Amino acid sequence: MKRAFVLAFFLAISAYGQPTIPQTPAGKAFEAWLTSFNSADPAQIRAFDAAYPRENAPPVEARVDFSQRTGGFTVLRIEKNEPLLLVVLLQEKKSDTVARIEMKVSSDEPPKILGSSMEAIPRPADLAIPRMTEAAALAALSARADELAKADEFSGTLLVARKGKILLEKAWGRADREAGTPATPATQFRIGSMNKMFTSIATLQLVEAGKLSLDDPIGKHLTDYPNKDVASKVTVRHLLTHTGGTDDIFGPEFEKNRDHLREHGDYVKLYGARGLTHEPGAEHRYSNYGFVLLGALIEKVSGVSYYDYVREKIFKPAGMTSTDSLPETESLPSRSKGYLKANGSWTSNAETLPWRGTSAGGGYSTVGDFFRFAEALEAGKLVSKALLAEATKPQIEGYGYGFGTGGEGVLKSYGHSGGAPGMNGSLLVFPNLGYVVVGLSNLDPPAASRLVEYFSLRMPEKP
């Protein structure tokens, strides 16, 4: 799934000052947009749309929600200033994420917006947040979580460990709002796409065992796959890197069949006749269906269900006793309830959940189990260290084989985030520093991931 642009106002910004927005046609349009967006006021946003018309403007409700989640934006600097084009570096006020916005306007009077795009980017080196001592970074993380929990913007658990020693493991908020049950470090939170790491490791285990090859077309094993073009062109490597052109599972068809999609084969029956969105290998497009296909391959090649395979080959050897994907119909006292923001208040996400998690995501776990997963990976207990190194280096920009990748040198990291309405989580492993940072939440993204990012940008960088 895509990274949300979510960021916390950091005091060092005052050292740079507020850049002056140029009073060009593009600058005036940008300033009007920023004022309306930061207001989170539907009336102001509609007024902006009326003053600066454009095609395919996002729904007002979506922009209000985005503004509330981010807290709005602060201008860091102007990167390009032309009369009809402005490129600006922004920071969200509720996290440390940096985003770049490009706005192009027409020469009409008043001008029309011809194009507007925004993307999250790595924080530029000259805007780096000062590193802290380990104790100070841990204290700052705990204080930030306290602040967000008090504002009802975080409910969940955090864990920070270094070189096998847990330094912080703490819970905030409630696992069940209706019952008033507090969250604890043992609370099981739904993890969304973090499941993809388990699917990746299961696939790579079968590669090491000689039962799969990264360059096998899926039709070699799924011999009755409905679309022969997909079966013959898409390889295991394509699926692991989201370059197969296999599209997604979410949308109207999923909503209509949500309660009937119970096994990986059910997804293949529903989506298997679809063609490719692009030629395999030509581009990267995040594909949940691609990871469903990996689950189907694991089942075909291993001869057992995906769920049994990961329990025996990943969870058990790693000592992960609180991780699984049992159906929502199963009563699990330690599994939290999820809450999505609707009309300004938190409400149950139960009506959005699949029947059970899949190889693409949707299971549940604890921060402790993710720590044990990271320790098992680094120790070579699940796949060889050589294959783990391949899986956790960029095969495409920012992504390996089922793992997100980032940083360089001592700050090199790998992991995965997960998010959907009423759930969010993130794992970051820094192998050269020995840090493992995990956050899980039962609220909308980026409730947990922004706190994982918060610590990773402040922790000491000395090995």
| pLDDT digit string, tens, across residues 343-372 | 889 999 999 999 999 999 999 999 999 999
pLDDT of residue 350: 94
CA 414 from chain centre, in angstroms, equals: 13
Distance CA 128, CA 132 (A): 12
Range of the structural domain that residue 251 is part of:
197-302
pLDDT of residue 17: 57
Q: Are 107 and 25 in contact (CB under 8 A)?
A: yes
393 and 344 within one domain = yes
72 and 92 within one domain = yes
27 and 39 within one domain = yes
Does 308 map to a domain?
A: no
Query: Considering 73, 93, 127, which residue would you say is the last residue of a domain?
Result: 127
334 and 185 within one domain = yes
177 and 101 within one domain = no
**Could you say which residues of the chain have pLDDT below 50?**
1-16
Greatest alpha-carbon pair distance for the chain in Å reads 67
Question: What count of other Cβ atoms lies within 10 Å of the Cβ of residue 404?
Answer: 21
Count structural domains, the chain. Answer: 3
For residue range 25-62, what is the model confidence (pLDDT) as tens digits?
A: 999 999 999 999 999 999 999 999 999 999 888 999 98
Q: What is the DSSP secondary structure assignment for residue 57, as one 8-state letter?
A: P
pLDDT of residue 69: 87
407 and 336 within one domain = yes
Does 213 map to a domain?
A: yes
Does 316 map to a domain?
A: no
CATH number, position 172: 3.40.710.10
CATH number, position 18: 3.10.450.50
Distance CA 351, CA 373 (A): 30
Q: What is the DSSP string of 307-357?
A: HHHHIIIIIHHHT-TT-B---TTS--TTBPPPEEEETTEEEE-GGG--SS-
CA angle 424, 318, 261 (to 5 degrees): 50
pLDDT of residue 48: 95
pLDDT of residue 259: 86
Does 235 map to a domain?
A: yes
Query: Considering 102, 127, 152, which residue would you say is the last residue of a domain?
Result: 127
336 and 236 within one domain = no
292 and 243 within one domain = yes
pLDDT of residue 14: 34
pLDDT of residue 247: 94
Find where tokens 């609707």 sit. Answer: 342
180 and 110 within one domain = no
For residue range 164-188, what is the model confidence (pLDDT) as tens digits?
A: 999 999 999 999 999 999 999 999 9
Query: Considering 79, 96, 127, which residue would you say is the last residue of a domain?
Result: 127
437 and 334 within one domain = yes
Does 356 map to a domain?
A: yes
Q: Classify 235 as helix, strand or coil.
A: strand
Does 94 map to a domain?
A: yes
pLDDT of residue 436: 98
pLDDT of residue 11: 28
pLDDT of residue 13: 33
47 and 88 within one domain = yes
Does 8 map to a domain?
A: no
Does 462 map to a domain?
A: no
294 and 215 within one domain = yes
